[in-house]
Amino acid sequence: MVGRRRENRWQPPEHPEVERPSAYSLSDDARGPDVCHAVTPLPVWAWVQFPTFHVRVKAFAKSWTRDAVLVEWAQFGQQAQAWVWRSAVKHRVLRVDAERRARAPDAG
């Protein structure tokens, strides 16, 4: 018959949404008081801890205290953030900034 849908037509399998692991974040007590907020988030490398693994991510430092940094990164296509120990964060240079510095004349 014309216009009738075939019953044995292939369809992709349906998979339940897999729950993605969440990164551990320091508690309020651990990160300490006097939070400073960045006007423009700073590019950083950060070690982030998950329940079963650690990973180094390209992130941005949004806030910090004397002991901790709030980092934000892309995880599974979505924004994620966590407070991590300050020693787990290192500055990084964006490619655009590095190219700009290379082209800039010396100030000497």
Q: How far is CA 105 from CA 74, 81, 92, 95, 108, in A?
A: 35, 37, 22, 18, 9
Specify the pLDDT at position 98: 64
Specify the pLDDT at position 20: 79
What's the mean per-residue pLDDT of the chain? 86
Q: What is the pLDDT of residues 44-91, one digit of tens each?
A: 999 999 999 999 999 999 999 999 999 999 987 889 999 999 999 999
42-62: buried (b, 16+ CB within 10 Å) or exposed (e) per residue?
A: bebebbbeeeeeeeebebbbb
Fold of 28-102: SH3 type barrels. (2.30.30)
